[in-house]
Amino acid sequence: MKRLEDFRPDCPPNEEKYAHPSPNVHGHGGPIAVGFGKVWQPLIKPCLIASQEAGHTINPDLNDGDPIGLAIPQMNIGDGIRGTSATAFLDTKSRSRLNNLTIVTRTICARVLFSGKEATGVELLPTSLDDTNRPPIVVYAEIEIILSAGAFASPQILLLSGIGPANDLSALNIPLVHNLPAVGQNLRDHTALGCEFIIDSSIPGHNQLLNSPSALHAAHSEYQSSKTGPLAMYGASAAVIFPRLPHLYTSLDFHALSSPTQTFLTAENRPSTEIWMMGGPIYYTGNDCPPDASVLTLEGLCQNNLSRGSLKLASRNPREFPLIDPAYLSHPYDLRIAIETLREMLKLANTPTMTSIIKAVLQGPRHPNNEQRLADASDEQTLKTFIIGTITQGFHAMGTCIMGRAGEADGVIGPDFKVVGVEGLRVADMSVCPILTSNHTQINAYLIGERCADVVLGKGSG
């Protein structure tokens, strides 16, 4: 992990108690810039104070192996520029060194081609619907094929290629290459819910900038000239809490779990959930928010969910999206996580600092006798109703092509990333991740790619 990182420890003056990294756990000189940011948005200060009022202790480096507590998120931004896998690994300089790399854009992989059980090539189609009559392009493999299309597209490609549950493929008249029932199963994801508030206009937010042509023009000009100013702030978040919630572990839903699952969920340094504090609105879609309002979003990201969804083909057409059933809240423990997360969010909203800046509730569980107020944390039925009506995806889907040990029924690929039962085909993306981790899964994806590369190049055993 450290070899990927180029850590930037800078933070605003006099804020070191919130951002004091552990230098021995961070990397330097890697392709991915990571840091706190030299300038913080104004919303950060009340969020930090309110979190401490709610009983959360400061964690000056949430990426040192112990994420528990209140922290400033570390972002993949360097010198005012957002870093991505494309900028880190496929910039102009990197591409110039890779004479064996060809990038084809506006293209989808329709299926993998096989000779018997051996993968021989891929069939490519243009993404444009104007080109649907063009014949597919076939690219043949000299050695092997590696799918890296993500938790939804990789299983879709395998199914379209004849690898998956035999009965499902037969129903769509897709020739069977290998019966692998776990393809598309075991879909895991974090779930998200949000409470949002109009806050004191003295705390500027995104709306004042985005809805003011003159302010936006000035900010754009400053960013273009120096990569500084409002557009260079880390605007997606203000602060984050990774708490341990004792009530979760005393609940009947927790005690109904198996002993190994309980041990896994209570492991040292494993948070119960995650709470983001950021500018909004993100969840609210009504008409009661003025366009220039300052908005606070409290987002609960439930990270220890036990529900498992699934993905299957809608048809043989590779351009048609697959049928996805995330099965959110299908496991009773997941609803318990969401309830306790929401209670902690309400506790945060009711701190002296938050109540001093909140002017109106945009979204949240409402008090049965007063729509202008938040519900009491003890009103579990109202909390449940709000959660069931608003819960959404955490955008961290994984597990649809699980990496398993030899003989495991849920396994789609082995430790060498090779697809079980066929030759010349590997998968390397979030679909292979067998455990729903308590983090933001960008780093998972990077590490899966790095690990697969090492195995392919013979630097590590599968």
Of residues 115 and 22, more confidence is placed in 115
Q: What is the mean pLDDT of the chain?
A: 94
Q: Decide: 154 and 427 in contact? Cβ < 8 Å.
A: yes
**Mean pLDDT in residue range 146-165:** 98
* pLDDT confidence of residue 327: 98
Angle of helix 332-349 relative to helix 380-390, nearest 10 degrees, comes to 110
Q: What is the mean pLDDT of residues 235-239?
A: 71
| Distance (Å, whole) CA 230 – CA 380 | 40
At 73, list the tokens.
């998120």
Of the pLDDT bands very low, low, confident and very high (cuts 50, 70, 90), residue 26 is very high
In this predicted structure, which of 64-73, 82-91, 431-440 has the lowest mean pLDDT? 82-91
CA separation for the pair 338, 301 (Å, rounded) = 8
Calpha distance 157→154 (Å, rounded): 5
- Using an 8 Å Cβ cutoff, are 65 and 54 in contact? no
Nearest to 108 by CA among 163, 162, 147: 147
Question: pLDDT at residue 162 above 90?
Answer: yes
Distance CA(418)–CA(147), nearest Å, equals 10
* Mean per-residue pLDDT, 35-56: 93
Rounded average pLDDT over 72-91: 89
Long-range contacts (CB closer than 8 Å, 24 or more residues apart) made by 393-396: 393/189, 393/190, 393/191, 393/192, 393/326, 393/328, 394/189, 394/190, 394/191, 394/192, 394/301, 394/302, 394/303, 395/189, 395/190, 395/192, 396/189, 396/190, 396/430, 396/440, 396/441
pLDDT mean over 8-12: 89
In this predicted structure, the answer to whether residue 49 has a pLDDT above a threshold of 80 is yes
pLDDT of residue 155: 98
Of 26-40, 182-196, 252-266, 294-308, the range with the lowest mean pLDDT is 26-40
What is residue 383's predicted lDDT score, i.e. its pLDDT?
98
Among 51-55, 168-172, 277-281, name the one with the lowest average pLDDT: 277-281
Q: Which of 203, 278, 212, 208 is nearest to 239 (CA)?
A: 278
pLDDT of residue 237: 66
- Is the pLDDT at 323 greater than 80, yes or no? yes
Evaluate whether 309 touches 189 at the Cβ level (below 8 Å). Answer: yes
Model confidence pTM above 0.85: yes
pLDDT at 50: 97
Confidence check: pLDDT of 260 > 90 = yes
Question: If DSSP states are collapsed to H, E and C, what string results for the chain?
Answer: CHHHEEEECCCCCCCCCCCCCCHHHCCCCCCEEEECCCCCCCCHHHHHHHHHHCCCCECCCCCCCCCCEEECCCECEECCEECCHHHHHCCHHHHHHCCCCCCCCCEEEEEEEEECCEEEEEEEEECCHHHCCCCCEEEECCCCEEECCHHHHHHHHHHHCCEECHHHHHHCCCCCCEECCCCCCCEECCEEEEEEEEECCCCCCHHHHHCCHHHHHHHHHHHHHHCCCHHHCCCCCCEEEECCCHHHHCCHHHHCCCHHHHHHHCCCCCCCCEEEEEECCCCCCCCCCCCCCEEEEEEEEECCCCCCEEEECCCCCCCCCCEEECCCCCCHHHHHHHHHHHHHHHHHHCCHHHHHHEEEEEECCEECCEEEEECCCCCHHHHHHHHHHHCEECCCCECCCCECCCCCCCCCECCCCEECCCECEEECCHHHCCCCCCCCCHHHHHHHHHHHHHHHCCCCCC
pLDDT of residue 462 exceeding 70: no
Residue 230 has pLDDT above 90, yes or no: no
Label residue 236 by pLDDT band (50, 70, 90): low
pLDDT number for residue 242: 97
**What is the pLDDT, as a whole number, of residue 134?**
80
Band (pLDDT 50/70/90 cuts) for residue 207 is confident
Express each pLDDT in 279-317 by its tens digit. Answer: 989 999 999 999 899 999 999 999 999 999 999 999 999
Highest mean pLDDT: which range of 69-78, 84-93, 340-349: 340-349
Give yes or no for residue 91 having a pLDDT over 70. Answer: yes
